[in-house]
Each structure stands twice: as structure tokens, then as C-alpha cells.
């Protein structure tokens, strides 16, 4: 119960993080926001890394592997984060939460290129999510908005990020990879911002509260909670609970940003959420889950 509660808090923090990303655009340009957010997130992880190092909980990791993993993960994180942040400018928090969540469906499908064979649940989840995406984002003239298109491309990036983590995590300490990728992503974003954007200290000060939530809370705190919780949580429960990030994103958009969804869009959101859940839970796991719950 404690582990599931921590995962639910994590999903809520990540979901409401979409609201912070929308509000942040009132103060900063997209790349300046990304840079400040991820460098703050990296700084918030430093005490945790030092604590794990002091307690000798960090696995021994070759420096070359940590550096290579940090660069690869950071590049993918930068691309996905940039597409998401710019997409939010032209979309909203509700759409961002559900369209970004498609990475849960895309991971096993993209895995085909790496000889991974997704099960029937992955294909069923993909179909449900695709129909839901159509209802949520495709307009009557069969066109998709610019922001939703960027978010959709970004979800491919998040899926590639998961696959890259799956490759590097067994080879290097996950906390060191997390810290390294945040530094790489933040530095890349700031470099682009210096070239393309103009940012003042007054803007950064005005965005302080939003950056603290988007950087320290969604990155440092939520990541720590996830690590702690997933040591004890059932993987099936974890997948289901973390997918609620999209729901919290929609709730945040409704309560804090007064975003409204039509009945068609709400039905699309429901189908996308169903697709995420179905893609993560096999029928055997689902039957086993309900058997355990009924026995309790």
C-alpha cells in the first residue's frame, strides 16, 4: 500500500507538471525553460547521488559507459523535451498528458526494430490509443493541430528514451545516468536558447516558483519517490498507477488552467488511457492481478 501510494503521488506530480510547463511559457521561452528546468533537476539529484555514494549503494560503473549513456540519453531527452515544450505552446496540458503518454504503447512497437516481439496486448493497446488519438486531436477536416503533431512526434522520442534507458541501465548506475542526462539536456537547451532566444534575469526570477516545481519537484522529488516505490511495488500495479499521469495532467488543466474538453475529446482520452493500460498488462497478468485481489 505504501509503495502504491508513493507511485500515485509520483504520477500526480508528473501530471500536474504539464500545468507548470504551460504556465512557464508566460515567463520564459521554451528552450530557456527546458534548460533551467533540467539543470535545476540535476542539482536536486546531487544530494541523493552523494548520499547513495556515502552509503555505498551506487553500483560500480565504468566512467566511459556513464559518459556515453549520459550523452545518448541527454540527446534523446533534449529532442523529446523540446518537441513537448514547444508543442504545449500550441496545445494544452490535457492533450500533452495523453499524447505524451502514448510512449507506453510505442515502446513495444518500436522494439520490433530490435527484434522484440510485442504480445497481443501491445497491439490491442496500440489500436485503442490510435482511435483515442484520432478523437482527441484530429479535427473535422482530418487535420491535426501543430502543437498536437509536435507532441505526437515527441512521444516517439520518449519511447526511444525508455528503450535507451533499458540498454544503459544494466551497464551503469541509474542515478548517475539520470544526473548525467539532465546535465546534457539542460546544457544543450541553454546553448540553443542563447542563440535563438533572449532571456533576462527578471524573467528567471518571475518564473522561480514554476521552475522549482517543474525542475526540483517533478525531477528530483518524483524520481526519488519512483526509485523508492518500485523497489517494493508490483510491476503490474506500477504500470497502471504511473499511467494515471495523463489523467492528472487533464485534471490540472481543468482546475488550474480552465481547459475544457468536448465529449468527443473526453472519449478519446478514455480510449488512450485504456490503450496505455492494455499495452502494459498482459491477459495472464490481469487475471493473476484480479485473482490476488479477490483472494484478499
Q: What is the pLDDT of residues 178-200, one digit of tens each?
A: 899 999 999 999 999 999 999 99
Which of 292, 167, 155, 166 is closest to 236 using CA atoms? Answer: 292
DSSP tally for the chain: helices H, then strands E: 15, 0
pLDDT tens digits, 129-148: 888 888 888 776 667 889 99
Kindly report the pTM of this predicted structure. Answer: 0.84
Burial class (CB in 10 A: 0-12, 13-18, 19+), 120: exposed
Q: What percent of the chain has pLDDT over 70?
A: 89
* 13 touches 195 (CB < 8 A): no
Amino acid at each position: 500500500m505504501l509503495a502504491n501510494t508513493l507511485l500515485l503521488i509520483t504520477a500526480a506530480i508528473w501530471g500536474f507538471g504539464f500545468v507548470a510547463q504551460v504556465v512557464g511559457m508566460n515567463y520564459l521561452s521554451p528552450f530557456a525553460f527546458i534548460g533551467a528546468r533540467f539543470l535545476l533537476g540535476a542539482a536536486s539529484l546531487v544530494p541523493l547521488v552523494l548520499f547513495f555514494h556515502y552509503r555505498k549503494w551506487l553500483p560500480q560503473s565504468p566512467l566511459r559507459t556513464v559518459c556515453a549513456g549520459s550523452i545518448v540519453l541527454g540527446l534523446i531527452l533534449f529532442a523529446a523535451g523540446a518537441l513537448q515544450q514547444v508543442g504545449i505552446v500550441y496545445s494544452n496540458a490535457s492533450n500533452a498528458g495523453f499524447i505524451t503518454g502514448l510512449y507506453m504503447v510505442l515502446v513495444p512497437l518500436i522494439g520490433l526494430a530490435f527484434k522484440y516481439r510485442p504480445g497481443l496486448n501491445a497491439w490491442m493497446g496500440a489500436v485503442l490509443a490510435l482511435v483515442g488519438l484520432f478523437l482527441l486531436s484530429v479535427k473535422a477536416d482530418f487535420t491535426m493541430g501543430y502543437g498536437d503533431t509536435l507532441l505526437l512526434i515527441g512521444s516517439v522520442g520518449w519511447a526511444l528514451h525508455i528503450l535507451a534507458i533499458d540498454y544503459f541501465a544494466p551497464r551503469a548506475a541509474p542515478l548517475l545516468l539520470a544526473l548525467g542526462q539532465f546535465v546534457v539536456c539542460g546544457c544543450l537547451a541553454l546553448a540553443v536558447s542563447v542563440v535563438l532566444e533572449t532571456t533576462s534575469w527578471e524573467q528567471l526570477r518571475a518564473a522561480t516558483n514554476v521552475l522549482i516545481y517543474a525542475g526540483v519537484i517533478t525531477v528530483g522529488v518524483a524520481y526519488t519517490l519512483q526509485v523508492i516505490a518500485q523497489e517494493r511495488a508490483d510491476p503490474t500495479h506500477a504500470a497502471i498507477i504511473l499511467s494515471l499521469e495523463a489523467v492528472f495532467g487533464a485534471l490540472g488543466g481543468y482546475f488550474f488552467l480552465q481547459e475544457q474538453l468536448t465529449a468527443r475529446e473526453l472519449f478519446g482520452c478514455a480510449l488512450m488511457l485504456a490503450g496505455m493500460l492494455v499495452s502494459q498488462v498482459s491477459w495472464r497478468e490481469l487475471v493473476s492481478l484480479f485473482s490476488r485481489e479477490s483472494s484478499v
